[in-house]
Amino acid sequence: MKCGNAVHGGMFEFTSQVFSSAQTVKKEEGEHPVSKKPKRTKEEIEEARLVKIKKKEEEEQSRWRWWEEEKYEDGVKWKFLEHKGPFFPPEYQPLPDNVNFYYGGKKVKLSPAAEEVALYFAQMLDHEYTTKKVFRENFFKDWRKEMTHEERSLIKDLDKCDFGELHAMHKAKVEARKNMTKEEKLVLKEANLKIVDEYGFCLLDHHKERIGNFKIEPPGLFRGRGEHPKQGMLKKRIQPEDVIINCSRESSVPVPPAGHRWKEVRHDNSVTWLASWTENIQGSIKYIMLNANSKLKGEKDWEKYEVARKLKSCVDDIRNQYNQDLKSKEMGTRQRAVALYFIDKLALRAGNEKEEGETADTVGCCSLRVEHITLHEKLEGNECVVEFDFLGKDSIRYYNKVPVVRKVFKNLKLFLVNKQPGDDLFDRLNTAMLNKHLSSLMPGLTAKVFRTYNASITLQQQLKELTNKSDNMAEKLLSYNRANRAVAILCNHQRAPPKTFDQSMANLQAKIDARKETLALAKTELKQAKKEAKNKGTSDPKLVERKKAAVKRCEEQLLKMEVQATDREENKQIALGTSKLNYLDPRIIIGSTRTQNEQQHSI
């Protein structure tokens, strides 16, 4: 079976505008209490509104309409690229004379290199990490590498080390930052904006584009996700000598910091990164890339979603194929069929092979082990239930009880025969084999495309079910977030509740209670105004109308707050940002907001 290259035409300009403008996602974080601002006059509000409108118009006029330009030949990403290079964190500042490190109760003056690493550990004393055996062992091993010979001869037991004064100094600095005056915060903000202006933008084909992550990550202690075997190891300071710069030959090469030089300067227009280096923990390459709403990201996303759209035209044939393969005489073919069933129905990641002991014990569909599933003939009123329990990407636990078709259940029982808990469930399959098979069914098809397709289909179905034409903006936003939440649950995008969540909800509930009191008072005043107008008339004939408007305004504000509270509570452990940025075709959101008379865009 081979799927054709069905193309959804007539949308390129619309599509590109959506991808150009819809990529920026608000970060999910706990809300911090904000000081009350002085009430603005109607004139000030109107002036601010007009300024905002004018700014939007100017931005729209200056927007680079790259989707209207002729595309480059295959493999060429840009023809001109100029930037300032990465921004490096400040050099280490030695401890003041009144802050000391102690070993065995005695003051020890550490060398600058050893002192810096000691401070990294001291800064984390409030974290659970510093109590973990693996973290402490890895830290101590790497710390000793930074010590002088004399320091290594003296410091041999981490339990005898006293980082108390270093930790107290760090806490004092944190508190000082929290208690900065408005003027101090403004100075800091202006300094940061200056850095963004200098390093946060580049010229791509002579158009100004925002850079995503232009700052080099500061050194520190590696944490990792879950029980990572390398937690506690020293993330070394990245120097310009470690960094490869990529820019065009005609551009001005970024100037390295004084006294340094770049590792290499390249002029490779077949890649989209501006700078790269190799980090020392995993040996992986890190990149500085353009912002999510840049031309390069927009083009990449458009291509990704177009492949997912093409899948719609042949997904039924593919499903029929893997259902037939469940009865194959070849065990490898059966395993591939069951894996595809899981990837399609549960949006599981395919999974990739990793060297044992190098990373946390995380798996995907193709790397599932016997210990990761439990089969139940009957469970909670359902038949043929598979219970999954494993650590997925970023050590996020995937736990799910899923009823499956009888043929899949029988095959799983067969796969488990004569296997130990640590054995591979799919011992005759890997991700490369699976993707090779998928590409034979449809050009460009991979396991990840299935995940993107099912995420977008879920969003489309949920928006259709949840939204109503009569909804106000707050209700529409709640419906969208609920639809997004369904996608995040499907893709297992979880997060820990923000540390400030409880306080944030308490603050919001206090505002809701206050608004209810205001509404009750407004209703009482409206009732009184109506009574006076009916009995004896009033000198102010518009009083009743004003009171009605006040009640309506209070009701709208209360509804908005209550919707906000519901939204926060429902999503406190769900990471919406990942699916928004990487899995949801923005055309679906745009299409769902259009009236019935307008063209509808679906996946």
Pull the structure tokens for residue 312.
Answer: 């719609």
Comparing CA positions, the residue from 33, 30, 37, 36 lying closest to residue 178 is 33
Spatial distance between the Cα atoms of 282 and 275, rounded to a whole number of angstroms: 18
Comparing CA positions, the residue from 351, 388, 383 lying closest to residue 370 is 388
Pull the structure tokens for residue 366.
Answer: 């193709």
Spatial distance between the Cα atoms of 559 and 552, rounded to a whole number of angstroms: 11
Q: Quick check: 226 and 207 in contact, CB under 8 A?
A: no
Neighbour-count burial for 274-307, b at 16+ CB within 10 Å, e otherwise: bbbbeebbeeeebebbbbbbbbbbbbebbebbbb
Q: How many CB atoms lie within 10 A of CB 117?
A: 23
Residue type, 574: I
In the residue annotation, 583 being an active-site residue is answered as: yes
Comparing CA positions, the residue from 336, 327, 323, 335 lying closest to residue 415 is 335
Classify burial at 42, counting beta carbons within 10 Å of its beta carbon; exposed 0-12, middle 13-18, buried 19 or more: exposed
Neighbouring residues of 275: CB distance < 8 A, sequence distance ≥ 6: 85, 86, 243, 244, 245, 246, 287, 288
From the list 199, 322, 453, 583, the catalytic residue is 583
Comparing CA positions, the residue from 601, 589, 595, 603 lying closest to residue 476 is 589
Rg (CA), the chain: 29
Residue bearing tokens 């219970």: 387
The conformational region for residue 492 under phi > 0 = left, psi -120 to 50 = alpha, else beta, is left
Residues carrying an active site annotation: 583
